[in-house]
Copies of this chain bind each other. A is one copy, B any other.
Amino acid sequence: MNLKEFSEILGLSPTTVSRALGGYPEVKEDTRKLVLDAAREHGYRPNRRAASLATGRAMAIGHVIPTALNHEMVNPVFADFIAGAGDVYARAGYDLVLSVVEDGDELRAYRQMASTGSVDGLIVHGPRLDDPRIALLQDMHLPFVVHGRGPEDSHPYSFVDVDNNRAFRRATDLLLDLGHRRIALLNGNETMDFASRRRDGYVSALAGRGLAHDDTLMFSGEMSEQNGHAAALRMLSGADRPTAFLVSSLIMAIGVRRAVTDIGLNVGKDVSIVTHDDMLSYLGNGTDVPIFTATRSSVRAAGRRCAEILLSHITTPDQPPVQEIWESDLVLGASTGPNLPVQTA
């Protein structure tokens, strides 16, 4: 059923029908109601592609998610981020076009989405320290919003980020205040912007107490349960073992907890854990008292906000960029406690 057929059923011209559906004022209210009712009854809906072609608006937003085929990992925060963003898109009548590409092929994916005109804007996921994508997107004059932050030397652009440096500085300070001195950092891949900032926060908190950081207590890599377990186990079985862990993701923290219990120690008593918690829907950090003491920020809310900003850039261009740096909560849970003097007993 196309517009022509549909308008013939109604005995109206395509123009009038289109205007009625589009909500334009040049059509009598009675007529509009007639048209809307008939559309519902006959199940008519304008063809998306034809409408896009005519208006020049794709009514779709692109998300490019990298999947490292060598190390096979899909970042689990995508699901929640996209749930948040997708909700906003749906309300505004936008589609969400997902492109799954191998790491390193992202530039090509962006270029293609832009030149084929299949999206009106893009979300940039997981910016790296030296990320070429942002410059490319600025060149292409396609609206975009970054989840996180990339290089800041270029022209300003819109982003939503959490204050990773501050969050991990505060978390480290908390552990220091509890008397811990051997604090391990299990971080994400430090070529990623967020991980780099978290490391800086951790290092500067230590430096603030005149402590040097110890490379043997620092891990940087994919934030999987396995990696958390392996790294923690290695550190705990070394001499002069850590009494506390600062971890970049809840999943990784679960691996740390398993390592701690594996060797017969107690989380929150013998070993403290502080983790970052993205508030993923399927991995809640306890209902009553949090399981883990955590720096907490909802990635779903970030998805929602990124989508809102992007849509506003699309509907009214030439706005100044929106840059939001969210403070994350530091919530106390059951995984931290004071460093007891007699720990090796």
Q: How far is the CA of A80 from the CA of B72 in the complex (A)?
A: 10
Whether the pair A74, B67 counts as a contact (CB closer than 8 A) is no
The answer to whether B96 touches A82 (Cβ under 8 A) is no
Interface membership of A157, Cβ < 8 A: no
Q: How far is the CA of A291 from the CA of B251 in the complex (A)?
A: 15
B contact residues around A222 at 8 Å (CB):
282
Interface size on A, residues (CB 8 A): 61
Asked whether, in the complex, the Cβ of A281 is within 8 Å of the Cβ of B86, the reply is: no
Provided the pairs A95-B99, A224-B283, A251-B282 are in contact, do residues A49 and B52 lie with their beta carbons within 8 angstroms?
Answer: yes
Chain B residue numbers with a CB within 8 Å of A230 are: 287
| Closest residue on chain B to residue A102 by CB atoms | B87
User: Taking the nearest CB of chain B, how far is it from the CB of A63, in angstroms?
Assistant: 8
* B49/A58 in contact, CB under 8 A: yes
In the complex, whether A326 has a CB less than 8 A from a CB of chain B is no
Instruction: Kindly list chain B residues whose C-beta atoms are within 8 Å of the C-beta of A112.
Output: 45
Name the interface residues of A82-103: CB closer than 8 Å to any CB of B: 82-83, 86-87, 89-90, 95-101
Taking beta carbons and an 8 Å cutoff, which residues of A are in contact with B?
Answer: 1, 43-50, 52-53, 58, 60, 65, 67, 72-76, 78-80, 82-83, 86-87, 89-90, 95-101, 111-112, 115-118, 222-226, 230, 251, 254, 257-258, 261, 280-284, 286-287, 291
Residue contact B73 to A282, C-beta cutoff 8 Å: yes
Distance between Cα atoms of A98 and B87 in the complex (Å): 11
CB contact under 8 A between A101 and B95, given known A74-B281, A115-B45, A282-B73: no
Kindly state the separation between the CA atoms of A49 and B224 in the bound complex, as whole angstroms: 39
Q: How far is the CA of A190 from the CA of B225 in the complex (A)?
A: 28
Q: Point out the residue from B78, B100, B286 that lies within 8 Å of A87, measured CB to CB.
A: B100
Tell me if B79 and A90 are in contact (CB < 8 A).
no
**Given contact pairs A90-B101, A282-B251, A116 touches B48 in the complex (Cβ within 8 A):** yes
Take A100-B86, A261-B261 as given contacts and tell me if A75 and B115 are in contact as well, using a CB distance cutoff of 8 Å. Answer: no
Please name all residues of chain B whose beta carbon is closer than 8 Å to the beta carbon of A224 when the two chains form the complex.
Answer: 281-284
B96 and A99 form a contact (CB under 8 A): yes
- Of B78, B79, B115, B283, which is within 8 A of A44 by CB? B115
The residue of chain B having its C-beta at the shortest distance from the C-beta of A254 within the complex is B254
Which residue on chain B has the smallest CB distance to residue A45?
Answer: B115
Tell me which residues across on chain B come within 8 A of A73, comparing CB atoms. 281-282
- The reply to whether A83 and B74 form a contact with Cβ atoms under 8 Å apart is yes
Q: Which residues from B are CB-within-8-Å of A280?
A: 76
Closest chain B CB from A68 CB (angstroms): 9
Given A47-B117, A83-B74, A116-B45, CB of A283 within 8 Å of CB of B53? no
